[in-house]
Amino acid sequence: MSDPVSAPVSAMNHASYVGIARVEETGLQGMITLRGDLSSATLGKAIKAATGQGVPDVRRVAVDGDSGACWMSPDELLLLVPYAEVEAKLAALNETLKGEHALAVNVSDARAVFRVSNGPAREVMAKLAPVDLSPGAFEPGEIRRTRLAQVAGAIWMEEDGAFRVICFRSVADYVFKLLSVAAQPGSEVGVF
């Protein structure tokens, strides 16, 4: 706590765990919840300007590095932007969306982001969520809002087979422990 006043810290401050897979909290990530009519051209333009991505299809993500757009529900997206730029992006977004029936809110500090990689990530996630994660049923670029044991979370798969997990910041410690237990050595199931 060298600088308790000004430096923002992510929920788990980059905690990591290595078992059959690597679990890490990825740190600060700018996140904007956007609700509105996803078929609107103005909304599409605003999303393009903020993230460089188009409006994702149902249950799809379009993410490049720490920028992108994730489908959340028929009228909601989660926009990912670099943490340092979130306020500027939000202001630009609200400017473009003036007159639109839409709402954009900065939720960066209300969420935590984890990455599960290096190993049987599918298996680790399948222990926690009631989702068919078998190859063919769940592939890179797909997102699923679901339940991680007892809390809500969103998971998507990256091109290299790693999973990103987003949960509420208030349950970040719980989710980190969940993922760590699901990834502990000797816990391979070998089902996929």
Partner 1 sequence: MLTLHCPYCGVNADETELDAGGEAHIKRHGPGSDDNQFHDYLFTRENPKGVHLERWRHAAGCGKWFHAARCTATLEVFGTYPAQVYEPPQDIKDAISAKRPGWSWREFE
Residue 133 phi/psi, 5-degree rounding, is -105, 15
Q: Could you tell me how many residues make up the chain? A: 192
By beta-carbon proximity to partner 1, the closer residue of 73 and 184 is 73
By beta-carbon proximity to partner 1, the closer residue of 20 and 166 is 166
The residue range among 39-47, 119-127, 128-136, 176-184 that interacts with partner 1, by the rule CB under 8 A, is 128-136
In DSSP terms, which residues pair with 70 in a beta bridge? 61, 78
Q: Which of 73, 134, 170, 184 binds partner 1 (CB under 8 A)?
A: 73
Residue 167 phi/psi, 5-degree rounding, is -140, 175
Q: Which of 146, 158, 162, 181 binds partner 1 (CB under 8 A)?
A: 146
By beta-carbon proximity to partner 1, the closer residue of 74 and 186 is 74
End-to-end Cα, the chain, rounded Å: 43
C-beta of 152: minimal distance to partner 1 in Å? 5
CA 164 to chain centre: 6
Alpha helices in 34-184 (DSSP H): 41-51, 86-96, 121-126, 172-182
| Residues in 2-61 at the binding interface with partner 1, rule: CB under 8 A | 58-59
Residues engaged in binding partner 1 (CB under 8 A):
58-59, 72-74, 76, 130-132, 144-147, 152
